[in-house]
């Protein structure tokens, strides 16, 4: 029997094929590939791959999410979310890493886990307004030295 490279017998793969519409919830362990349409919630500790023909509306919770399809959802990943060039995501993104290839589209809110700016903000030498107010003086001084 021929095996695809990168897959081992213990891989648990769930497939929602092109042309299939599923309304409801999917809770699985392992990898999920969506080439059809899911209207509902998807939860796995593994990887979710959404193909170019795949559409998800609802929520997605996974370890890693890689999409070249369409997502209208709240999306949470413990590792990363990656939108490939044909990917479209409208909704909320919650992940420590979020990347988009050229051509991918995203509209919504992203949260990468930063809860505050921290004390470093007060140690900065100034803000944009302070820099702008100093510019005329710097230009005048440069004119005197010319």
Confirm if 19 and 36 have CB atoms less than 8 A apart.
yes
User: What digits encode the pLDDT tens for the residues 112-146?
Assistant: 987 766 655 555 555 555 444 555 554 455 555 55
Q: Does 121 fall in a domain?
A: no
What are the two backbone dihedrals, phi and then psi, of residue 103, each rounded to the nearest 5 degrees?
A: 100, -25
* Total number of domains constituting the chain: 1
Q: Say whether 138 sits in a helix, a strand or coil.
A: helix
pLDDT at 113 (0 to 100): 84
pTM strictly above 0.85:
no
Reported for 83-89, long-range contacts at CB under 8 A and 24+ positions apart, including other chains, are 86/52, 87/50
Query: In terms of residue numbers, what domain contains 57?
Result: 13-115
- Higher pLDDT: 64 or 143? It is 64
Q: Does 122 fall in a domain?
A: no
Q: Does 89 fall in a domain?
A: yes
């Amino acid at each position: 029997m021929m095996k695809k490279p990168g897959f081992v017998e213990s891989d648990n793969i769930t497939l929602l094929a092109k042309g299939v519409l599923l309304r409801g919830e999917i809770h699985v362990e392992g990898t999920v590939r969506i080439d059809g349409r899911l209207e509902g919630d998807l939860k796995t500790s593994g990887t979710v791959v959404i193909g170019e023909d795949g559409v998800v509306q609802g929520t997605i919770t996974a370890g890693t999410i890689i999409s070249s399809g369409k997502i209208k959802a709240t999306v949470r990943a413990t590792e990363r979310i990656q939108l490939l060039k044909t990917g479209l995501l409208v909704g909320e993104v919650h992940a420590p890493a979020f990347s988009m290839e050229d051509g991918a589209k995203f509209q919504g809110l992203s949260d990468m886990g930063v809860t505050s700016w921290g004390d470093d903000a007060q140690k900065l030498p100034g803000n944009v307004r302070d820099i702008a107010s100093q510019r005329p003086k710097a230009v005048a001084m440069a004119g005197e030295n010319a």
